């Protein structure tokens, strides 16, 4: 039966549920988007989850209200009151049509999600069209971090003014890095391993990062680099002293 106050999805829901005029009026407060999703959820619950729905309209209205609640939508209940008064509908009016008066509708089919097919090696690293931002810092670590070099870098960045002495918001303070560096040095000494610190490359990476973060500096970038170099000259001998004493690195 066609109900003039319902649009396409609302009418489809009313036909699918076999609603009378009184039942269809109960659907009036909800939007077309709400009806579309509520009916999909209804069909999914009935077919896929194999649950028995004792009162279809009651369950359907629950789904509509849940849709509105999750999206902070207020249903138009004034439409329900207005239509009920217009058509002389009361609480005793049947909300379902007799079976012989119902419209036969084909239920919407929800396509099954097919598993993604992989050609060749399924464990191959995925590739895409992502393009690296031009603003991204180009010196990302490509191998295991060197705790000693990282401690020197952090000391340089603090001296340059990029970070506070207490550490940046998401970066541990310098003390954490120096403790890790000290532990790394201790392990090298115990294992009698050599350690070669590439100071020129390290300084170049620090200078590049200072240029990249120049907008955060309170002083000119060149002055910040001088302070960073001074910090490197101060902290490096302290960290590497045990290695020099053991003769496991160049002087």
As a whole number, mean pLDDT of residues 159-178 equals 68
Q: Say how far apart CA 240 and CA 147 lie, in whole Å.
A: 12
Confidence of residue 169 (pLDDT cuts 50, 70, 90): very low
* Distances from the Cα of 247 to the Cα of 147, 182, 235, 251, angstroms: 20, 16, 19, 8
Q: What is the pLDDT of residues 202-238, one digit of tens each?
A: 899 899 988 888 887 888 989 999 999 999 999 999 9
pTM: 0.44
Which pair of tokens denotes residue 10?
């609302």
Q: Say how far apart CA 39 and CA 33 lie, in whole Å.
A: 10
Q: How many CB atoms lie within 10 A of CB 180?
A: 16
Beta-bridge partner residues of 138? none
Q: Are 189 and 246 contacting, i.e. CB atoms less than 8 angstroms apart? A: yes
Q: What's the mean pLDDT when you consider all of the chain?
A: 81
Domain parsing of the chain, residue ranges: 8-101, 147-246
The answer to which of 30-39, 100-109, 141-150 has the lowest mean pLDDT is: 141-150
Question: Percentage of the chain with pLDDT > 90?
Answer: 39
């Amino acid at each position: 039966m066609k109900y003039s106050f319902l649009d396409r999805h609302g009418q489809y829901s009313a036909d699918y549920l076999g609603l009378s005029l009184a039942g269809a009026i109960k659907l009036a407060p909800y939007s077309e988007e709400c009806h579309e999703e509520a009916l999909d959820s209804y069909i999914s619950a009935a077919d896929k989850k194999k649950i028995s729905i004792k009162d279809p309209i009651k369950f359907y209205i629950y789904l509509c209200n849940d849709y509105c609640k999750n999206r902070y939508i207020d249903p138009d209940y004034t439409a329900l009151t207005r239509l009920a008064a217009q058509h002389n509908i009361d609480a005793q009016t049947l909300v379902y049509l007799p079976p012989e008066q119902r419209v036969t509708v084909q239920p919407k089919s929800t396509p099954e999600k097919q598993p993604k097919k992989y050609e060749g090696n399924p464990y191959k690293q995925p590739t895409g069209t992502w393009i690296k931002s031009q603003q991204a810092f180009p010196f990302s670590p490509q191998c295991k971090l060197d705790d000693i070099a990282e401690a020197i870098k952090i000391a340089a960045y603090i001296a340059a003014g990029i970070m506070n002495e207490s550490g940046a918001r998401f970066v541990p303070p310098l003390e954490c890095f120096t403790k890790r560096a000290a532990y790394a040095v201790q392990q090298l000494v115990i294992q009698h391993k050599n350690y070669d610190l590439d100071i020129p490359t390290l300084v170049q990476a620090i200078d590049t990062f200072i240029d990249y973060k120049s907008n955060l500096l309170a002083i000119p970038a060149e002055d910040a680099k001088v302070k960073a170099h001074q910090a490197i000259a101060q902290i490096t001998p302290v960290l590497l002293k045990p290695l020099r004493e053991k003769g496991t690195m160049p002087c």
